[in-house]
Amino acid sequence: MHSETSKVTTRTLLKMKAEGKKIAMLTAYDYSMAGLLDQSGVDAILVGDSAANVMAGYPTTLPITLDQMIYHGASVVRAVKRALVVVDMPFGSYQGDPLEALRSAVRIMKETGADAVKLEGGQEASESIRKILSAGIPVMGHLGLTPQSINQFGTYAVRATSDEESEKLLRDAKLLDEIGCFGLVLEKIPAVLAGKVSRSVSVPVIGIGAGGEVDGQVLVLQDMLGITRGFSPRFLRRYHDLGTEIGQAVSRYVEDVKSSDFPNTKEQY
Ligand code: KIV
């Protein structure tokens, strides 16, 4: 368990980049897991809209609502003492209308107590980002594979493999840096491009499937613990096979109940 308790802020992450210290981020969506992550030394926790997939079983991140993200965000914040908590803005809560984006971000900050919000998109999202920043709300950008646009992409394959797309991504990253985002997530893009982005912007770049030349890494907790099944992209390192262990524990419990082994005399009043 990690003993350091001083709160991680957006400034801490900037300092870590300046000092060449890598940033460890993971997703969490609930109180119990968030507490374990916080006590184990993660620098930042992302309440990702991947909750739509891993918590609710939807095939995409599109259906999750602002109210649901607020529920997950508030649950995580209640458990966390040290890590920076970033809450994803869900699909439909910020695109196209900066005022609507501001209202959504304000709700997230007020009702969850999180430290920052994250949203997807570069130049297209920049007006919304500026508006949110104008209210003093820290914003993290998200470029590369942006799952809320899956219906436009049509695939979860690696992004920015063409010159045109990689040039746009670099331009977008510089724009988000200039307008005041405190950090960027780069998802599923070539490692060389991600390294170039990281060296071209002043803010920390956190990668997922973006190689090792960036300032930190993020993974979906249930993926790295081996709870999600049938998902094994190249970038995913599984640190545990918790899915199998949970299955074995539950099978033993079922067996014990059916054989009347549980509860025994010491386990009753
Ligand atoms: O929602 C999420 O979990 C994310 C990460 C994949 C970066 O945005």
CA distance 188 to 40: 26
Portion of the chain with pLDDT greater than 70, in percent: 98
Q: What confidence category does residue 184 fall into, taking pLDDT thresholds of 50, 70 and 90?
A: very high
Q: How far is the CA of 247 from the centre of ligand 1 (A)?
A: 26
Q: What confidence category does residue 242 fall into, taking pLDDT thresholds of 50, 70 and 90?
A: very high
Give mean pLDDT, residues 131-142: 98
Model confidence at 3: pLDDT above 80? no
CB of 50 closer than 6 angstroms to any ligand 1 atom: yes
Model confidence at 4: pLDDT above 80? no
Q: What is the pLDDT of residue 1?
A: 59
Q: What is the pLDDT of residue 96?
A: 87
Model confidence at 134: pLDDT above 90? yes
- Residue 155's alpha-carbon distances to 27, 60, 64, 147, 230, in angstroms, are 22, 11, 20, 9, 17
CB of 27 closer than 6 angstroms to any ligand 1 atom: yes
- Nearest 5°: phi and psi at 230? 70, 25
For 51-157, where are the E strands, in sequence order?
84-88, 116-120, 139-144
CA distance 45 to 48: 9
Which residues are known to be catalytic?
Answer: 187
CA distance 235 to 134: 36
Q: Which of 117, 206, 208 to mutate to test ligand 1, by most ligand atoms within 8 A of the CB atom?
A: 208
Q: Which CATH number fits domain 10-238: 1.10.645.10, 1.20.140.10, 3.40.50.1950, 3.20.20.60?
A: 3.20.20.60
Both tokens of 125, joined, read 């999202």
> Where do the structural domains in the chain lie, given as residue ranges?
10-238, 241-269
Nearest CA to ligand 1 atom 1: 48
Q: How far is the CA of 267 from the centre of ligand 1 (A)?
A: 42
Instruction: Look over the chain and give the mean of its residue pLDDT values, rounded to a whole number.
Output: 97
Model confidence at 13: pLDDT above 90? yes
pTM value > 0.85: yes
User: Per-residue pLDDT tens for 44-62?
Assistant: 999 999 999 999 999 999 9
